[in-house]
Amino acid sequence: MADTPKPEELSKIDHAPPLMEGWMDVPAEIRPGIYCYGAKAKNLAAVGMPNARDWNPADEDWKLPDNWEQIVEEGMKDRLDKYRSFKLFMDICVRCGACADKCHFFIGSGDPKNMPVMRAELLRSVYRKKFTAAGKILGKIAGARKLTEEVLKEWWTYLYQCTECRRCSVFCPYGIDMAEITIMGRELTNLLGLNIDWIAGPVANCNRTGNHLGIQPHAYKDMIDFFVDEIEEVTGIRVEPDLNRKGAEILFVTPSGDVFADPGTYTAMGYLMLFHYLKSQGLDITWSTYASEGGNFGFFTSHEMAKRLNAKMYAEAKRLGVKWILGGECGHMWRVVHQYMNTWNGPADFLEEPVSPITGTKFETATGTKMVHIIEFTADLMRNNRLKLDPSRNDNLIVTFHDSCNTSRGMGFLEEPRYVIKNVCNNFYEMPPNTIREQTFCCGSGSGLNAGEDMELRMRGGLPRANAVKHVHEKYGVNMLSCICALDRAVLPTSLGYWVPEVAVTGVHEMVANALVFEGEKERTTNLRGEPLPGMEEEE
């Protein structure tokens, strides 16, 4: 986190706004390639969101309710009263500009309204006009402006060009969390039915069917069965996963993306193999076809929606009667669990404090939520020498690690993934210090912006991350970018496909499974992707 600024540093702050003159008079342009499609009526109606109608952001008419301005004003007032952080963040910014050049969208696009300070200013200007005396009286001189339809469109344009990654907040001397401002801004747009469909669709699906894509239980099971066959082909071992088994000790919940899209599927196979390996050591775990989504796009909609979707995982844990929940490699799922779950749906007192049945380690940080990230679980197994590993099986990989925004800045998982990676592969190189750990750059497509229609935006946002990957590729020959987030696995192959096509993407547990030595396994000649293992090229 940001160091507390010393008085002499604070006194040096230039109070002149670093912002472009006359920015209020430059309207936002809704350009193809940058914006995401508007939420469909059916997806908003399915979860009772207001103003459900089909609309197109590129049209002049956004089909707003007649009293839209009143709705926004009341919504803003309600949130200023409810969330002290929002009120504080609206008031305390001195526009020092420390955050200005830290946003991947600003760095990649060069659009000044993507400077975090500027993005916040879009909201603050309206806040001043409506809620501060100076703004009401002095107007523009006090940085205040009226809320017009044009301003609303500008809000929408830039609120959906922020991935809520919080890199800017690391550099803010006041600790202003820009993500919180975007979250509030997006809540306000949702009061008018102005979500994007790439978020609204998954939310509606998740609410009804249990996952983003609307995959039904039988299809989910079918996919797991397919993995079981694939694993047997590679290892000769037939893993026997449980689904929806009541009375299991642990419920496993993971993002559905890993079950249905490559390369996440190999990470899902990795989980299956690890669980099978640990069965004889006492692991009693079940998957669920109902809590079949770790991700939570409700978090990109409103707190209420995020709470609803988060509650589903816990309802399933209760139904199955498990003691605690183990979660797969995911990013925002963990921000939700770690920072919000306890307030929304806690305490989960029908569950027990998570204890590893293999090592006896108590996961004290999860005492409140009763939910443990698998990277922590696996790191603990390795620390206690419970896994027989052959890292040379990953010798064809020269690996670097992308810290996901949510697990690094949101949870502090900085060492665990690195510890696990170093145990399962011999060639590991870090990217430059100002692009990893707390200062990591976002994948460029987080917070529900991983649609297809905004591909240009995603490439801009992905540039700073890819630029660092390119550096380690050129310097050390890195050919694999590892991560512990399903969204990263879904979007980084595309971003790297544009910027550094020589580098592929993997989940950490895919590498774990490849290195894991089972008793009675056949001689392995390929990895989970069917590629020959180092030294086995001839056999293929």
Partner 1 sequence: MSLKNLLSDNRSSIIKKWRDIVISTYPIDTQRFLKKEKDRFSNPVGQTIAEDLEILYDQLTSDNDTDKIARSLDNIVRIRAVQDFKPSQAVGFVFALKRLIKKELGSDLKADDLRDQIESLDERIDNAALMALDIYSQCRQRIYELRVIETTNQVSRLLERANLKIEIPEL
Q: Which residues of this protein are in contact with partner 1, per CB under 8 A? A: 18-20, 31, 33, 100-101, 106-112, 115, 213, 215, 219, 222-223, 226, 260-262, 265, 432, 434-435, 452, 455-456, 459-460, 463-464, 467-468, 471, 490, 493-494, 497-499
The C-alpha atoms of residue 450 and residue 126 are separated, in whole angstroms, by 29
Shortest CB 375 distance to partner 1, Å: 24
The C-alpha atoms of residue 253 and residue 248 are separated, in whole angstroms, by 13
Nearer Cβ to partner 1, position 229 or 349?
A: 229
The C-alpha atoms of residue 527 and residue 511 are separated, in whole angstroms, by 9
Shortest CB 225 distance to partner 1, Å: 9
Shortest CB 108 distance to partner 1, Å: 7
Shortest CB 430 distance to partner 1, Å: 12
Shortest CB 110 distance to partner 1, Å: 4
The C-alpha atoms of residue 368 and residue 450 are separated, in whole angstroms, by 31
CA within 13 Å, CB half, 194: 28
Nearer Cβ to partner 1, position 100 or 274?
A: 100
SS3 content of the chain, % helix, strand, coil (to 5): 50, 5, 45
Shortest CB 52 distance to partner 1, Å: 25
Contacts 24+ apart (CB under 8 A), 228-233: 228/272, 230/269, 230/528, 231/269, 231/272, 231/273, 231/528
Nearer Cβ to partner 1, position 57 or 321?
A: 57
Shortest CB 230 distance to partner 1, Å: 11
Shortest CB 464 distance to partner 1, Å: 6
Shortest CB 257 distance to partner 1, Å: 9
DSSP calls for 276-299: HHHHTTT--EEE-SSS-----GGG
Shortest CB 526 distance to partner 1, Å: 13
Q: 3-state class of 373 per DSSP?
A: strand
Give the burial class of 359: count Cβ atoms within 10 A of its Cβ; 0-12 exposed, 13-18 middle, 19 or more buried.
middle
Nearer Cβ to partner 1, position 19 or 516?
A: 19
The C-alpha atoms of residue 418 and residue 387 are separated, in whole angstroms, by 17
Question: Is 425 within 8 Å of 511 (Cβ atoms)?
Answer: yes
The C-alpha atoms of residue 431 and residue 401 are separated, in whole angstroms, by 8
Nearer Cβ to partner 1, position 94 or 223?
A: 223
Nearer Cβ to partner 1, position 215 or 513?
A: 215
The C-alpha atoms of residue 84 and residue 337 are separated, in whole angstroms, by 21
Nearer Cβ to partner 1, position 38 or 263?
A: 263
Nearer Cβ to partner 1, position 109 or 182?
A: 109
- 6 phi and psi, to 5 degrees? -80, 155
Nearer Cβ to partner 1, position 109 or 292?
A: 109
Tokens 């079918």 locate to 222
Scanning 98-145, the segments in alpha helix (DSSP H) are: 104-109, 116-131, 133-138
Shortest CB 462 distance to partner 1, Å: 9
Tokens of 168: 């800017």
Nearer Cβ to partner 1, position 115 or 513?
A: 115
Nearer Cβ to partner 1, position 224 or 320?
A: 224
User: CA torsion sign, 120 to 123 to 125 to 130?
Assistant: negative
- 251 phi and psi, to 5 degrees? -100, 135
In degrees, to the nearest 5, what angle opens at C-alpha 40 toward C-alphas 180 and 454? 60
Nearer Cβ to partner 1, position 142 or 219?
A: 219
The C-alpha atoms of residue 418 and residue 376 are separated, in whole angstroms, by 11
Shortest CB 357 distance to partner 1, Å: 32
